[in-house]
Amino acid sequence: MLRQSPASPLLSLPGAVPAEGPDEGVAGHYGDLFREQRTLADGSGFVDLSHRGVVTVTGDDRLSWLHLLLTQHVSELPVGHATESLILSANGHIEHALYLVDDGTTVWAHVEPGTQTELIAYLESMKFFYRVEVSDRTEEFAVVHLPAGSIADVPDGAAVRETAHGRDVFLPRGELASFADAHGPAIGVLAHEALRVEAHRPRLGLETDHRTIPHELGWIGTAVHLQKGCYRGQETVARVHNLGKPPRRLVFLHLDGSEVHLPPHGTPIRLASDGPDGRQLGFITTSARHHELGPIALALVKRNVPVDATLLAGTTAAAQEVVVEP
């Protein structure tokens, strides 16, 4: 069973509507989804991501040890430099995604809700003689996201991952309520997800299944360093990169705006010309309602699906944009 984080105290804020599925435990929205998206896109407010797992690695060998296990080059990771990385199976399939930063003494990482227990079990099995300590800090620390352009201050001493998309702050869980008072308005995860879909950024467990490899999602470069070896699954990464033919590819979809319901995760993708009974060519991974673009989605389709083809997501017409080149 996946170990879930404590429910967020911010669910008691006015208008809070609980999120469902993998984001259970925090607010999906606070009463006005599109206003929250616009606020976030304008660089204001913050997103409560306290349902995500928090893992730390300490010890003198933490970076050199992680370098042997992760797909990213981290042996010389500068203090305060944010990166993301994957852990693969022996066959190159994605098992974990880590969003990490080193503060000079500790590597802080946040991961998908409930995956930290399995991740830590794997890391513990690989410690051998290395001087490292791995800890689950989920009950002590919560992640909050400040959007790009935010001028909000963060508490002294807090670990921060700063990227082009904003800052992820590892906040003592007991300070969530006071942080919300100082840096509101709180923004629900549905707004955060809509902007993630717009930016074509994959998410473990939504854009991935049991056989997903990094090339299919565009994670080469951002989470996978092609000039390093010595990690599990590296042979598959190198082979597919050299051949240039991943079996599937991530696409961005503009969905028919007249549809009342968004197609959920797993909805079959077919060619519009074949109709709803045609051969399945992929599936919806995440769909969202965007404040400017309308209904949008990410989907994983077979590599040879024509890039100019109109698709069907269930019975919903969908125009595609290329994310991963075929």
Contact of 184 with 277, CB cutoff 8 Å: no
Residues 6+ apart with CB under 8 A from 240: 92, 213, 215, 246
Q: Spell out the residues 6+ positions from residue 303 whose beta carbon is closer than 8 angstroms to its own.
A: 245, 246, 247, 248, 249, 326
Spatial CA neighbour of 46 closest among 158, 180, 177: 180
Q: What average pLDDT does the structure give for the chain? A: 95
Q: Per-residue pLDDT for 45 more than 60?
A: yes
Fold of 53-136: Alpha-Beta Plaits (3.30.70)
3 pLDDT exceeds 60? no
Query: Residue 299: left (phi > 0), alpha (psi -120 to 50), or beta?
Result: beta
Statement: residue 44 has pLDDT above 60: yes
CB 101 within 8 A of CB 154: no
- In sequence order, which residues have a C-beta less than 8 Å from that of residue 190 and are 6 or more positions away? 19, 28, 29, 33, 36, 288
CATH number listed for the domain at residues 247-325: 2.40.30.110
Indicate the SS3 state at residue 291. Answer: coil
DSSP state of 224: B
Residue 24, number of CB atoms within 10 A of its CB: 16
**Alpha helices (H) along 184-317:** 189-198, 234-243
Bridge partners, 98 (sequence order): 85
Backbone angle region of 60, left / alpha / beta, with phi > 0 → left and psi within -120 to 50 → alpha = alpha
Beta bridge partners of 147: 166
pLDDT of residue 22: 95
**Cα distances (Å, whole numbers) of residue 95 to 63, 87, 208, 209, 212:** 20, 6, 9, 9, 9
Among left, alpha and beta (phi > 0; psi -120 to 50; other), residue 190 is alpha
pLDDT in tens, 104-160: 999 999 999 999 999 999 999 999 999 999 999 999 999 999 999 999 999 999 999
Per-residue CA distances from 104 to 65, 101, 157, 216 (Å): 15, 9, 12, 34
Task: Dig out the tokens for 150 from the structure.
Answer: 């935010």
- Where in the chain are the domains? 9-52+140-199, 53-136, 247-325
Query: For residue range 81-97, what is the model confidence (pLDDT) as tens digits?
Result: 999 999 999 999 999 99
pLDDT in tens, 197-206: 999 999 999 9
Question: Residue for token digits 């797993």?
Answer: 266
- Mean pLDDT to the nearest integer, 206-228: 95
- Give the model confidence (pLDDT) of 232-282 as tens digits: 999 999 999 998 789 999 999 999 987 678 999 999 999 999 999 999 999
Per-residue model confidence (pLDDT) at position 4: 64
In the chain, the percentage of residues whose pLDDT exceeds 90 is: 92
pTM for this model (two decimals): 0.95
